[in-house]
Chains A and B, each alone.
Chain A
Amino acid sequence: MEPHLSEAGEDVVELDIAPDGVDLGQIRWMLSLTPTERLELLQDWVDGILALRNGRVRD
């Protein structure tokens, strides 16, 4: 994990990312969900992103 000091020096928040870039915190979060919750999360996310994609504005 990459240590990350806050300027205040209190409550140092460790970056929960492996050296290869994998977000370990995200894995932990997913593991805390039930399979149904994981699928609902994925569906929700995909629905939102695809809808946004359909709103592409030609600059």
Chain B
Amino acid sequence: MDASGTRFFKLLEVLVRHEVEFVIVGGVAALLEGAPILTLDLDVVYRRTEDNIRRLLSALEEIHARYRDPAGRLIFPDTIRLRTNRFNLLVTDLGALDLLSDLGEGLAFEDLPERTRSYDVAGVRVRALDLKTLIEVKERVNRDKDRAALPVLRRTLEMKKSEPNGST
């Protein structure tokens, strides 16, 4: 399947092309791991260094990213917000993009690499959080929405572990 024309893929391609350091988390990561859930935004945790923030801002400018502001104001991401905000909920020309500084204590970008899986399509290589860690994060956050997603995530993990070749 040629995904290069999809907005989702183009969104990833922009981030990769600008050499942004990030890990895919949330619903997309769960879907990549095989969980049958629905998501319509891309959640990522980004490395919060000055260089990476600069690269991230370049990517965001290319896709005209702005905050999803309930008051309807046009507010654009900037260095200060990306450095200090824990959550940056954005809309872009290519869809909704949520930028997170971390997933909770001990789960910043630097803590994640060993908890991720790699994906490579048409030269676009990204890492996404594994299912086990996704479940841990949702258990920690423990909001209604997160608890609602846990049964299907847990069952998916169980079934992946019980696959004949033990593949997860």
Select which of B73, B83, B119 is within 8 A of A52 by beta carbon. Answer: B119
Are B119 and A53 closer than 8 Å at their CB atoms?
yes
Closest residue of chain B to A42 (Cβ to Cβ) is: B40
B120 near A: Cβ within 8 Å? yes
A31 near B: Cβ within 8 Å? no
Are A21 and B141 closer than 8 Å at their CB atoms?
yes
B96 near A: Cβ within 8 Å? yes
In the bound complex, CA of A28 to CA of B78 (Å): 24
Size bracket, chain A contacts: 35 or more
List of A residues within 8 angstroms of B144 by Cβ = 20-22
Tally of contact residues, B, Cβ under 8 A: 47
In the bound complex, CA of A26 to CA of B86 (Å): 18
Are A49 and B7 closer than 8 Å at their CB atoms?
no
Are B143 and A6 closer than 8 Å at their CB atoms?
no
Task: Point out residues on B near A: beta carbons under 8 Å.
Answer: 1-3, 6-9, 12, 28, 31-32, 34, 38-41, 67-71, 73, 75, 78, 80-81, 83-87, 89, 91, 95-96, 117-121, 125-126, 141, 143-146
In order of increasing CB-CB distance, the 4 nearest A-B pairs are A48-B8, A51-B3, A21-B145, A21-B143
Residue pairs across A and B with Cβ atoms less than 8 A apart, 13 shown, are: A4-B85, A6-B85, A7-B83, A11-B73, A21-B141, A21-B143, A41-B7, A44-B6, A44-B7, A45-B40, A47-B8, A51-B1, A52-B12
